Amino acid sequence: MPGSGPPISIPIMAVSVGNALGGCTADVVAALEAGRSGLRPCALDVPREMVCGAFAGEPAPLPAALASHDSRVSRIAAQVLAGVSRELERAVRRWGPERVALVVGTSTGGVAESERAHAAHRRTGRLPARFDFDRQHAFHGLLDVVRALTGARGPAYVVSAACASSGKVLGSARRLIAGGVADAVVAGGVDTLCQTTLRGFSSLEALSRTACRPFSAARDGTSIGEGAAFLLLEREGEAPVRLLGVGETSDAHHMTQPDPEGRGAARAMREALEQGGVAPEEVDHVNAHGTATPANDAAESSAIVGLLGTSPLVSSTKGYTGHLLGAAGATEAVFAALALERGFVPASLGAEPLDPAVRANVAVRARSGRLRTALSNSFAFGGVNVSVLLGAAP
Amino acid sequence: MNSLYVGGVGLSAPGLSGAGGGGAAADTGAQALPPALRRRASPLSLLVCDALAQAAAEAGADLAAIPVLLGSAYGEIGTAVEMMRSFGDGAGLPSPIRFHNSVHNTPVAYASIGRGNRGFSTALAAGPETVAMALVEAAALLAERGGDALVVFADEPLPEPFAPARPWVAAAAALHLATAPLASPRARLGVPRRGSAAAAALAPALEAHPCAGAFALVEAVRRGRSGPVSIGPPPDGWVVEVEAGAS
């Protein structure tokens, strides 16, 4: 079994999240608890009607020393990273900067900057004078910013596996700590709204004209959002929530369509449970991938029910934030961690009337109560599946 | 983490020969993907699948079951920029194939679908440290799971209007890595460490390639050379110790 051996339990020492619900964790939590969606009509120049989850407020400019790296993706990353800065400074002091690694998930990085530069080039025949492809578009430009802001000097890389990117960073973080490569890892994800994804998902006819409604009989597509989330994981420490396992599989089925029976998704969840030494009946909550496309939700429900039965409360949070693509995995892992810590399962917005073919126990209303463990699922183009298992401290 | 054993290598650099070049031809990917997928696959995917197939064949590894890791600094940048051209018309939408081929993990997705591999795959990037970071992730994965894995390094040229002053050609290199000694290993690799080593002589079109270190590494393994290999970025980046033929 992949990753077998004694279960490894890694404390999550700090989390931070920002998206359409709010620019900081407290605002995001308040919106989740109030059942308030951040989805609004899309303000970008797009060729059809759609709603989006634009980041709440205008993300602050980067510090002057990083001005040449300026991009929306780095600005959002920087703002959300600030939410773990105090704990991170402690971790860098404790372990030493060379022992702190960075793994960041993104699907499109700074492509929005290149889209604007490319449009300017079409109009004028020249790229904007201040445009720097490597610093503003390329994934390593984002990595430069995160490295500079954290002071970490250990291994640093971007994982880019489309919508599974920042779920998979937690698998990398687990490996780096377990393998002795690092003692602490800043793991997270970030993505922004851009023409590439808004028009691309339009071309696939995968977008709803209204706020997406995961698991509903009335669902007709997803909504795209932007945001970031970061988690600080350390070799040792007291934390309310711990990372227990990360299952990573492939469907080997189709570039954009999931296996209709959700077999790859089920294997990812099973792998996470086996790594964590957790039985299916011990899972109390699933933060589903739940994109609100007809194919995804049906396949994911089959996978959840087939493996876990109908006891766990299942929520998709995409009706609040939109699909955050490369930031979805980390964001929803943070949501699952907050659910465990606070004993609160957010309502799956827009789920009623439920699709009768969806047999999973969808939380159509928010629920409170102690939760033992939670899974967070992310699936992606190319048939990539990741499932993150988190456990509450006893 | 312990050292890793190289069971096979692959190189796909159409049009190049000599140091760091060679391999691959007009039918790149022909052996690696079924025709229906090959017609849809991106150019970078064809190179990656070709290099993977070579390394797997040399090591006797099963492409339907082995974990696969991709390191690429810029990924599917040609497809992504081609999409931008379609936005020139305000109502423009990209083709669905072009859109799904624009994600960074496209090449390993085709490798998975083409061979029915339902296991682990990932795709990562770290600019000039891409080769080193892909090897770090591969070593950590093998420490976690044991067994073997394929790691492939690939980049294509940056298209206009984003082409750099020192361009490079599309090329991919692959390594089959295992945790346990093999019956006839090509080499043993140390874990990547920070340090410096003399840069290998590569074909001029690969000198500025983001994955140049991988071509140097494959060249050292193929030629049976032992010693430290710089895997970038020069001059004081990352180094891997190679011990030729060690079991």
CA dist A154 → A90, A102, A176, A195, B136 (Å): 16, 7, 10, 34, 11
Angle separating helix axes A328-342 and A165-178, nearest 10 degrees: 70
**What element of type H or E holds B232?**
strand B227-232
**What element of type H or E holds B10?**
strand B4-12
Q: DSSP letters of A234-286? A: ESS---SEEEEEEEEEE--S-SSSPPTT-HHHHHHHHHHHHHHT--GGGEEEE
Residue B182: band (very low, low, confident or very high) from pLDDT cuts 50, 70, 90: confident
Is the Cβ pair B104, A160 closer than 8 Å? yes
Active site residue: A52, A163, A194, A212, which one? Answer: A163
- The pTM of the full predicted model, rounded to 2 decimals, is 0.97
Does a structural domain hold residue B231?
Answer: no
**How many angstroms separate the CA atoms of A212 and A350, rounded?**
7
What are the tens digits of pLDDT across the range B6-56?
Answer: 999 999 998 776 555 555 444 555 667 999 999 999 999 999 999 999 999
Closest among B156, B166, B175 to B104, alpha carbons compared:
B156
Is the Cβ pair A133, B125 closer than 8 Å? no
Nearest Cβ partner of A47 from B83, B85, B90? B90
What are the tens digits of pLDDT across the range A81-109?
Answer: 999 999 999 999 999 999 999 999 999 99
- Number of domains observed in the structure of chain B: 1
CA B231 to chain centre: 13
**How many angstroms separate the CA atoms of A392 and A343, rounded?**
10
What are the tens digits of pLDDT across the range A259-311?
Answer: 999 999 999 999 999 999 999 999 999 999 999 999 999 999 999 999 999 99
Is the Cβ pair B113, A252 closer than 8 Å? yes
Closest among B205, B214, B123 to B157, alpha carbons compared:
B205
What are the tens digits of pLDDT across the range A177-201?
Answer: 999 999 999 999 999 999 999 999 9
**How many angstroms separate the CA atoms of A143 and A150, rounded?**
11
Does a structural domain hold residue B158?
Answer: yes
- For A10-392, CATH number out of 3.30.160.250, 3.40.47.10, 3.30.70.100, 3.30.1130.10 equals 3.40.47.10
- The structural domains of chain A, with segments of one domain joined by +, span 10-392
Nearest CA in chain A to B101: A255
Residue that the structure tokens 């006839």 belong to: B184
CA dist A258 → A181, A203, B137 (Å): 34, 18, 26
CATH, residue B82: 3.40.47.10
What integer is the mean pLDDT of B221-244? 92
Does a structural domain hold residue B239?
Answer: no
| ipTM (interface pTM) | 0.97
* Pairing verdict, β B238-244 and B187-189: antiparallel
Query: B87: Cβ–Cβ under 8 A, 6 or more apart, which residues?
Result: A115, A118, A119, A195, A199, B94
Is the Cβ pair A122, B1 closer than 8 Å? no
What are φ and ψ of residue B9, in 5° steps? Answer: -130, 160
Residue B20: what pLDDT? 55
A323 is known as an active-site residue:
yes
- B231 neighbors B218 (Cβ within 8 angstroms): no
Measure the CA dihedral B162/B163/B168/B172, to 10°.
Answer: 20
Question: At residue B67, what is the residue type?
Answer: P
Which residue range(s) make up the domain with B108?
Answer: 4-185
Closest among A293, A309, A328 to A215, alpha carbons compared:
A293
DSSP state of B244: E
Does a structural domain hold residue B213?
Answer: no
Please give the sequence-ordered ranges of beta strands (E in DSSP) within chain A, or none if there are none.
Answer: 10-18, 40-41, 51-53, 100-105, 156-159, 184-191, 224-225, 227-234, 241-250, 283-287, 313-315, 344-345, 367-368, 373-380, 384-392
Residue A3: what pLDDT? 53
* Shortest distance, CA B104 to any CA of chain A (angstroms): 6
Nearest CA in chain B to A202: B93
